[in-house]
Structure 1
Amino acid sequence: MPAALGLLTALALGGHRLVPELGVGLGSLWESALPWSALVAVAALLCAALRRAPAPACAGGVLAVVWAVAFGPLLLGGGAPAHGASTGGTGGPGLTVVTHNVNAANPDPAGTARALLAADPDLVALEEVTDAALPAYQGVLDKALPHHARTGTVALWSRYPVTESRRLVIDPGWNRSLRAEVSAPGGPLAVYVAHLASVRMTATGFATAHRDRDIAALGQALDAEPLRRVLLLGDLNTAADDRALAPLTSRLTPARSGFGFSWPSALPLARIDHILTRDLPATATWTLPATPSDHRPVAARLRG
């Protein structure tokens, strides 16, 4: 049984795009959990060691190789800048950007804002910003990032002038996405901030239809984007490997190095908070320390 499970998992990992949805979102759910397939390899190898059985050892080894091929390049990417290295707009070329779902029930918005400024960011995108908490975020962030835009529950703070901003209608029933134009070094930059619909486990499977409609609409908006340099920040409620994200990842490049799991904050299991770019290569990505939110902040250093 451990050997069969290991080989089946290796096949499902290597051919994850072929795993069917079966009407319950199985493929999407599997692709959201791909990194954790390593646990099956560990279990198979442990079983082989305890039983001194070659079959589980072979299966675990095969799965380990497939896993290494799939995730090795990601794990070898750049992480956070070294301690003491310059990261902000005043320290050299490029941009440091942060996105954070701050949680509408966050009990310490001012403290959360101060924690984000520790990354010396040029741009900060927030999701789940309530009317009541907005003054606290502004009181901290405005001092370092004097230009800002907000629509509904999403907001953007910038070191550089925001020359234009508007609500981005990707879901007529909700007001939690915006497009702003930032006068950044290297030329104008289109910045999208989005908080897509959540997914739910239901009796009929992995419910993703609402989120997937949001993703498709956001992809269409990106097709109409006239600026060359584009940045998308936000809580997309899915992992970068999920096939559902293809309308975005086919147009933009995810800033990824390492897994950078961001949710849930106490014990992160998935990266559902993302930074995606066009013509802004990422030189480093990392997660910031936990705040009172149920998400962890995600940061990236971009070469402009």
Structure 2
Amino acid sequence: MLAALAVLTAVLLAFPSVVPNTVGRLGSLLETFLPWLGLAVPLLLVLALLRRSATALVALVLPVAVWGQSFGGRLLPEDRGAHDLTAVQHNVSDVNTDPTGTAIALIEAAPDFVALEEVTPAALPAYEKALASEYPHHAVEGTVGLWSRHPLSDVRRVDIKPAAIEEGWSRGMRSTARTPWGDIAVYVAHLPSVRLGPGGLGSGLRDESAGLLGAALAAEKLERVILLGDLNSTLDDRGLAPVTSRMDRTDSTRQAFAFSWPASFPVSRIDQILARSATVSNVRTLPATGSDHLPVAVDITLGRGSEDAPPSP
């Protein structure tokens, strides 16, 4: 039995898609916390030692190997190499009592773009004032906003509202950033929250919103795209496939875990920065602010087209 459980753990780590999403979205639930499935290994190891089961001990080599292949690289330090841009994504929380301090903390990472979610009308002036000196260009749509060192144009709302949510709910925006490397479409999004209950993972609204965001990304005309947002799940979750399939997938096995939620004891990275025709690297979290999320920062290297000229020194 212990050997069988070890093999099952290895199969789920390697092929989480074998768990269907038809009942309680159990597949998405597994994928959201997939790295933590590795905790089954030390538990099974203790039981195998107590039972003095050589078969179980040998079988445990399989999940250890699979976990190491899938996630071991994330434990290694990543050198911060040459890059073009730095971006920060942060759900600042609508009950954050220190918006000014939060903004100042984000500035310390020296990003080119700062995307915020859960920006309330009451807190917006504080964010605008604190970020103005470093980020002269900004746009806000509903409760999401983008602050940029580079000029922004063609700012518009992106409708990612599920049909069941009341009017007035606005959590998506798109703008064009004019950079030395050319125009980049920059999206900021905050997908609906998910809830874990007796019926499983309540992610229906999140999945519907992801489909709408994916359609917007598919229709984007610019080649280079950056998406920043609280997507309320990890990139392994099949519920985000409409979004992740439209963006370049970096080698996630070599990226740090950078768990961002909850800030008090992070167990998952649900705050994401993705790119198209660009490479995202050096994913990291920043120190805690007054939010229940940790800020996430990344470096971005833009893909070079034949028409691109290097920026002026």
TM-score under structure 2 normalisation? 0.89
Q: Tell me what 2:219 maps to.
A: 224
Deviation, structure 1 residue 33: 1.1
Once structures 1 and 2 are overlaid, which stretch shifts more, 3-12 or 207-216? 3-12
Deviation, structure 1 residue 17: 1.2
Unaligned runs of 5+ in 1: 83-91
1:96 to 79, 86, 91: 86
SS in 1 for 2:133: helix
Deviation, structure 1 residue 196: 0.2
Q: Tell me what 1:303 maps to.
A: 301
Q: Tell me what 1:139 maps to.
A: 129
Q: Distance in 1 between matches of 2:261 and 2:4?
A: 31
CA pair 277-217 structure 1, distance change in 2 beyond 3 A = same
Deviation, structure 1 residue 283: 3.2
Q: Tell me what 2:290 maps to.
A: 292
Q: Distance in 2 between matches of 1:229 and 1:74?
A: 26
SS in 2 for 1:136: helix
2:110 to 112, 116, 120: 120
- Is 1:254–1:275's contact at 8 Å kept on the other side of the alignment? no
1:249 to 233, 244, 248: 244
- Is 1:40–1:60's contact at 8 Å kept on the other side of the alignment? no
RMSD between aligned residues: 1.8
- Is 2:224–2:275's contact at 8 Å kept on the other side of the alignment? yes
Q: Tell me what 1:13 maps to.
A: 13
Q: Tell me what 2:96 maps to.
A: 106
Q: Tell me what 1:187 maps to.
A: 182
SS in 1 for 2:278: coil
- Is 2:32–2:268's contact at 8 Å kept on the other side of the alignment? yes
> Deviations for 1:144-185, whole angstroms, at most 9, x for unmatched residues?
011000011000000010122111112164201100111012
Matched residue type, 1:171: K
- Is 1:41–1:61's contact at 8 Å kept on the other side of the alignment? no
CA pair 235-163 structure 1, distance change in 2 beyond 3 A = same
> Deviations for 1:205-262, whole angstroms, at most 9, x for unmatched residues?
2111110011111111011100010000000001110111111111113565111110
Aligned: 1:43 with 2:33: no
Matched residue type, 2:175: A
- Is 1:45–1:61's contact at 8 Å kept on the other side of the alignment? no
Identical pairs, percent: 49
SS in 1 for 2:110: coil
- Is 2:274–2:280's contact at 8 Å kept on the other side of the alignment? no
> Deviations for 1:40-99, whole angstroms, at most 9, x for unmatched residues?
1121223334444323322322111111122234445736x49xxxxxxxxx86110000
Q: Distance in 2 between matches of 1:123 and 1:134?
A: 17
Once structures 1 and 2 are overlaid, which stretch shifts more, 266-275 or 247-256? 247-256
Matched residue type, 2:140: R
- Is 2:104–2:130's contact at 8 Å kept on the other side of the alignment? yes
Matched residue type, 1:159: R
Q: How does 1:29-178 map to 2 (within 5 A)?
A: 29-76=29-76, 78=78, 81=80, 94-171=84-161, 173=167, 174-178=169-173
Q: Distance in 1 between matches of 2:3 and 2:291?
A: 41
> Deviations for 1:94-137, whole angstroms, at most 9, x for unmatched residues?
11000000000001111111111110010000000001111111
- Is 1:260–1:287's contact at 8 Å kept on the other side of the alignment? yes
- Is 2:256–2:282's contact at 8 Å kept on the other side of the alignment? no
Once structures 1 and 2 are overlaid, which stretch shifts more, 102-111 or 54-63? 54-63
TM-score under structure 1 normalisation? 0.91
- Is 1:265–1:290's contact at 8 Å kept on the other side of the alignment? yes
1:207 to 199, 202, 207: 202
